[in-house]
Chain A
Amino acid sequence: SQQGEEDPQALSIQEGENATMNCSYKTSINNLQWYRQNSGRGLVHLILIRSNEREKHSGRLRVTLDTSKKSSSLLITASRAADTASYFCATYIGGSEKLVFGKGTKLTVNP
């Protein structure tokens, strides 16, 4: 079974609103990453948060990590139509170099 599970599977919002996506994982981690995929393209790395960090910011992105609950959230503030994409969380399984992904959240930002 997959390590990460994103929630919700799909999210539709209006431009200017905030979008929040959640990720749960199963094993211990050194870090958790979020990626973005535009339709038909390869994934692009957005942000990495280490296991000893609780929150991290990058531009309009805010990521939180709760290792006690094995969960993370990605917040995109002031969404734009160009943010329309699928978003995935990813972790390395328990000290290995196996990088595994969740099923993703499909975000649609309506103009």
Chain B
Amino acid sequence: DAGITQSPRHKVTETGTPVTLRCHQTENHRYMYWYRQDPGHGLRLIHYSYGVKDTDKGEVSDGYSVSRSKTEDFLLTLESATSSQTSVYFCATGLGNTEAFFGQGTRLTVV
């Protein structure tokens, strides 16, 4: 798994509460990505980072923010969780324009 750790692995939260998911890598990869996976939609890119403090939006960024204060950590925050954000979230890392390495996923349920 290329030294990628997602935490927590499972979380249940209430609607309207803030939630932060963490992705930690030990590979010193420049690029980091957050995806959500839902039945019938495959993987959709939420945000990605191309360096410390450098991030950009993906396909489904509304309701999500990210931060990357150091190379190894990429945080995904749901400012006010909604039921539509119930999903499995995957973090990935890479060197750019080549293969990506994935974490094991975080299953988030918003009730």
Contacts and interface: CB of A to CB of B under 8 A. Distances in A.
Contact of A101 (B4, B35, B104): B35
Nearest to A89: B42
A45 B50 contact: no
A24 interface: no
Interface string A42-83: 111100100000000000000000000000000000000000
B78 interface: no
A45 B103 contact: no
Contact of A41 (B33, B41, B94, B104): B104
Contacts of A30: 97
Contact of A92 (B35, B59, B97): B97
Interface of B: 1, 4, 31, 33, 35, 40-45, 48, 50, 56, 58-59, 90, 92, 94, 96-105
The 6 A-B pairs of least Cβ separation, nearest first, read A42-B102, A103-B42, A101-B43, A45-B99, A43-B102, A104-B42
Interface of A: 2, 6, 30-31, 33, 40-45, 48, 88, 90, 92, 97-104
